[in-house]
A = this chain, B = another copy of it.
Amino acid sequence: MSESLFDGKRRNQVWQKKYHVAVVGATGAVGTQMIELLEEVSSFEIGEVSFLSSARSAGQKKTFRGEEIEIKEAKPESFEGVDIALFSAGGSVSKELAKEAVERGAIVIDNTSAFRMDPTVPLVVPEVNEHALKGHNGIIANPNCSTIQMVAALEPIRKEFGLSRIIVSTYQAVSGSGVSAIKELNEQSQAILNGEEFKPKILPVKGDKKHYQIAFNALPQIDVFTENDYTYEEMKMINETRKIMEDDSIKVAATCVRIPVVTGHSESVYIEVEQEGISADAIKNSLKNAPGVILEDDPANQVYPQAATAVHKKEVFVGRIRSDLDDPKGFHMWIVSDNLLKGAAWNSIQIAESLVKLEII
């Protein structure tokens, strides 16, 4: 690829490194967003890109900074010369190929659940625990979408007032389940509006025993169930939050629910802070200048975050902040973000930017 194709900000240094970035899962809902975001990256120079996929999708083409790039089948040797490999093609692909990429010298930023709870793998939301990147062993895990937006919004509060408890109920969009789930929601919605029959095939969980209507419905199952009757999605929120915040003493509970929204996860979050005598205004103030967070909280003017207005934006939106009426340390709030951006692709790109900034790569 010729240099002239890139509009990245040039540092005036002849030794400026140019990075070879691979995207694994380039045709998926998240991979597509990763590619769009990489086009706009200006904090480091991209010298080459490799877009990788399953054998089935290989051969398709994606435009990148004006150039057509052919998508190739992801194989161990695909990672020769790659500096940063962004994985978002499902846990099994990551388990098979992430170590191959690392062996070939790449740092892997993995958007699947494959390595998140591995104690040797940093699980990073840059606004919360960027420092954890320094301890990496080749693989860095991108947290679950519903976890990322919650911890990004709660970290400023935790830092200022301490945080002892989180109870979250989610309102999650179908794009978290991929392109086929988006198609299912749209087709089912149309069938119901037409009064036609339809057969659920994807949601709540691709490949699970039963499938249910998602259009005009709410499904209290995301990912499969674990032995304790929580879903994996709920356990991800619980375990990942403690790992990212580096505090196993925080009580975390989650109920994860899929609703008929294409993109944009919403969360109803109850928290208890450690400090006494904190007001809702103090909580709001702690978020006003927080990195990556936008306060949208003006009930008198009906201003609060919404999935429909958060979509295509990189920030986490927080509103409906109010004191619990019984517990003086309790607060309620509503946290919304684009699950494909901050919840997935954007957080992965941010990790890449942090790796460069911290001179880890």
Using CB atoms and an 8 Å cutoff, list the residues of chain A in contact with chain B: 165, 167, 169, 171, 186, 189-190, 193, 204, 208-210, 212-213, 216-221, 225, 228-230, 238, 251-253, 255, 257, 259-262, 264, 266, 268, 270, 280, 299-302, 304-308, 319-327, 330, 332, 334
Roughly how many angstroms separate A260 CA and B228 CA in the complex, as a whole number? 30
Q: How far is the CB of A96 from chain B (nearest CB, A)?
A: 28
Roughly how many angstroms separate A325 CA and B334 CA in the complex, as a whole number? 23
Contact call A270/B257, Cβ cutoff below 8 A: no
Contact call B190/A322, Cβ cutoff below 8 A: no
Number of copies of this chain that the complex holds: 2
Q: Which residues of B contact A169 (CB under 8 A)?
A: 169, 255, 268
Roughly how many angstroms separate A230 CA and B321 CA in the complex, as a whole number? 9
Q: A217-B308, A220-B319, A220-B334 are in contact. Are A238 and B268 (CB under 8 A)?
A: no
Q: How far is the CB of A296 from chain B (nearest CB, A)?
A: 11
Q: Which residues of B contact A229 (CB under 8 A)?
A: 280, 299, 320-322
Contact call B308/A238, Cβ cutoff below 8 A: no
Besides A219-B306, A220-B268, A255-B332, 10 other CB < 8 A contacts?
A: A171-B259, A189-B189, A189-B193, A213-B308, A218-B306, A220-B319, A225-B299, A228-B323, A228-B325, A229-B320
Q: How far is the CB of A31 from chain B (nearest CB, A)?
A: 23
Contact call B299/A253, Cβ cutoff below 8 A: no
Q: Which residues of B contact A306 (CB under 8 A)?
A: 212-213, 217-220
Roughly how many angstroms separate A186 CA and B189 CA in the complex, as a whole number? 9
Roughly how many angstroms separate A261 CA and B259 CA in the complex, as a whole number? 9
Q: Which residues of B contact A219 (CB under 8 A)?
A: 306
Roughly how many angstroms separate A190 CA and B193 CA in the complex, as a whole number? 7
Question: Which of A165, A190, A302, A332 has the most chain B CB atoms inside 10 A of its CB?
Answer: A302
Roughly how many angstroms separate A213 CA and B264 CA in the complex, as a whole number? 14
Roughly how many angstroms separate A217 CA and B321 CA in the complex, as a whole number? 20
Q: A193-B190, A208-B302 are in contact. Are A171 and B326 (CB under 8 A)?
A: no
Contact call B251/A218, Cβ cutoff below 8 A: no
